[in-house]
Amino acid sequence: MTKVVITQSIYDQAPQLLAEAGIPYFYHQGDTWSPAELKEQIREATVVVCLLADKMTAEVMDAAPHLKLIANVAVGYDNIDIPAATERGILVTNTPDVLTETTADLAFALILAVARRIPEADAYMRAGKYTRFALFPDMIGTDVYGKTLGIVGLGRIGTAVARRAALGFNMKVLYTADSPKPDVERELGVIHVPFPDLLPESDFISIHVPLSPRTRHLFTMNEFRQMRGNACIINTARGPIIKEADLVEALQKGLIGGAALDVFEEEPQMHPGLADMKDRLVVTPHVGSATIQTRQKMATLAVQNVIAFLTGQPPLTPVNPQVL
Ligand code: DGY
């Protein structure tokens, strides 16, 4: 008998779609399960609907011998051991496209926030420190309009950020990618450059690559040293792409101008050095796709994948279609 386990609160109307399709499910709405609890809870499952905090390792999969589908409510799937799933004939699906523009909005909000020092200005106001207008206030910022943005990874979200930068802010946009994207170059005038050239030529660097062995610690002291002294780095992709201890050191030594982070190396923790930093650092708790509309779409798409799979239809957004 099919058993669908939804590991965490998603969006209540999404499981409702399962009910309407006559598919029974177990919907856990409490705290994230520990790895041991996860193993125990999915022991009889055919389908698991999960979030990034659920680490779907080979060991966890082995605890669920009937498992056939893992539907991740996220576009990224570094929480899932894809080769292990494929080896076991388990299909994995994700939620691309529906969150592209929302995540690009957050990336741009972070660019603006770190450049114009919005958190510092907000704290200043709340502390009652605004007693007279000054031409050069404590939290003087730097321009975004017309500056150079370096995009690391010109996929869906990277392209959406490039569009905002090129068309809305008249920015020169450089990008790195495994292969050039002539269509986007024609549309937006973005320029493909090797990674080592992007570092010293950008005023802002925004990361949009998935986490993989190749991208883990892509940014270390070595890269920060090559960036402009006033450049800011923005990460809405995955925390471990930046070596956080090195970022703290680079900020403390003034090697770069600032950072804005929505993701962290040891999420949900952040490096204590970051918490201590008062200026030129903006931090948000992994809210790239966190708008009501987009989170509803993500949950719905994940469940639609489940329904398609269980009713013999092709899944909408498979990650490892070769298992089918
Ligand atoms: C994703 O979809 O990968 C985000 O990081 C979570 O919304």
**Model confidence pLDDT, tens digit, residues 179-232:** 999 999 999 999 999 999 999 999 999 999 999 999 999 999 999 999 999 999
Catalytic residue, candidates 164, 228, 238, 295: 238
pLDDT score at 174: 99
The CATH number of 4-96+292-323, from 3.40.50.720, 2.120.10.30, 3.40.190.10, 2.60.40.420, is 3.40.50.720
Query: Half-sphere exposure (CA, 13 Å, Cβ side) for 80?
Result: 28
Joined tokens for residue 137: 């206030």
Query: To test the ligand 1 pocket, which listed residue (99, 284, 297) has its Cβ within 8 A of the most ligand atoms?
Result: 99
What is the rounded CA–CA span in Å between residue 48 and residue 67?
8
Distance from Cα 289 to the centre of ligand 1, integer Å: 6
Question: What is the structure's pLDDT at 184?
Answer: 98
Q: What Cα–Cα distance (Å) separates residue 20 from each residue in 14, 165, 190, 239, 307?
A: 10, 43, 46, 38, 10
From atom 4 of ligand 1, which residue's Cα is the shortest distance away? Answer: 74
Closest CA relative to residue 100, chosen from 182, 150, 158, 171:
158
Q: Quickly list H helices, the chain.
A: 13-20, 35-41, 58-62, 82-87, 100-116, 118-126, 156-163, 182-188, 195-201, 221-226, 244-252, 272-275, 292-310
Cβ atoms within 10 Å, residue 168: 11
Q: Is the CB of 99 under 6 A from ligand 1?
A: yes
Q: Is 263 in the pocket of ligand 1 (CB under 6 A)?
A: no
Which of 155, 198, 209 minimizes the C-alpha distance to 173?
198
- Is 286 a residue of the active site? yes
φ, ψ of residue 208 to 5 degrees: the values are -140, 40
Catalytic residue from among 37, 187, 249, 267: 267
CA of 75 to the centre of ligand 1 (A): 5
Contacts of 178 (CB under 8 A, 6+ apart): none
- Residue stretches of the chain with pLDDT short of 50: none
Taking the C-alpha atoms of residue 304 and residue 24, their distance in angstroms, rounded to an integer, is 14
Residue 292 is predicted with a pLDDT of 97
Q: Is 157 in the pocket of ligand 1 (CB under 6 A)?
A: no
State how far the Cα of 2 lies from the Cα of 258, in Å rounded to an integer: 50
The pLDDT of residue 2 is 76
The rounded distance, in Å, linking the Cα atoms of 171 and 254 is 24
| Close Cβ partners of 72 (under 8 Å, ≥ 6 residues apart) | 50, 51, 52, 79, 80, 92, 93, 94, 95, 302, 319
Q: What is the pLDDT of residue 243?
A: 98
> Relative to the CA of 99, which ligand 1 atom is closest?
2
Core vs surface per residue 110-141: b (16+ CB within 10 A) or e: bbebbbbbbbbbeeeeeeeeeeeeeeeeebeb
Residue 258, ligand 1, Cβ within 6 A: no
Class of domain 100-283: alpha beta
* Nearest protein CA to atom 1 of ligand 1, as residue: 74
Q: Is the separation of the CB atoms in 140 and 158 below 8 Å?
A: no
Task: Copy the structure tokens of residue 243.
Answer: 């070596």
Closest CA to 46 of 2, 92, 91, 90: 2
Q: How far, in Å, is the centroid of ligand 1 from the Cα of 76?
A: 6
For the CA of 237, the closest atom of ligand 1 is 5
Cis amide bond preceding 200, omega within 30: no
Q: Which part of the chain has CATH 3.40.50.720?
A: 4-96+292-323, 100-283
